[in-house]
């Protein structure tokens, strides 16, 4: 799993996305969007999001234990990648 600094997913919450839809497409569109319970999967903490994704994958029966899973952050500012988990 690799996420990156400066990611747009750090900049909003689902409610913000719904508000944009409502502003751009109107209340009926926003209502339909909310009815689907669609999750845009934003996250507030970069490293925690990496850890959560790794935990999800290592805990999934769909990913055999023989598959190595690790989590990383690509630092856009430096060009370096560092291991989180
Ligand atoms: Zn991104």
Contact 14, 85 (CB under 8 A): no
| Closest by Cα among 39, 36, 44 to 9 | 44
Place of tokens 């209340």: 27
Distance 6 CA to ligand 1 centre (A): 7
Distance 29 CA to ligand 1 centre (A): 25
Distance 19 CA to ligand 1 centre (A): 21
> What is residue 82's predicted lDDT score, i.e. its pLDDT?
98
pTM of the model: 0.85
Q: Which two tokens stand for residue 42?
A: 């934003």
pLDDT per residue as tens digits for the range 14-71: 999 999 999 999 999 999 999 998 999 999 999 999 999 999 999 999 999 999 999 9
């Amino acid at each position: 799993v690799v996420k990156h600094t400066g990611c747009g997913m750090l900049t909003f919450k689902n409610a913000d996305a719904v508000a944009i839809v409502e502003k751009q497409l109107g209340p009926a569109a926003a209502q339909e969007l909310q009815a689907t319970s669609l999750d845009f999967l934003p996250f507030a903490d970069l490293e925690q999001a990496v850890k959560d994704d790794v935990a999800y994958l290592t805990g999934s029966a769909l990913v055999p234990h023989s598959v190595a899973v690790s989590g990383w952050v690509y630092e856009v500012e430096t060009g370096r990648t560092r291991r989180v988990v």
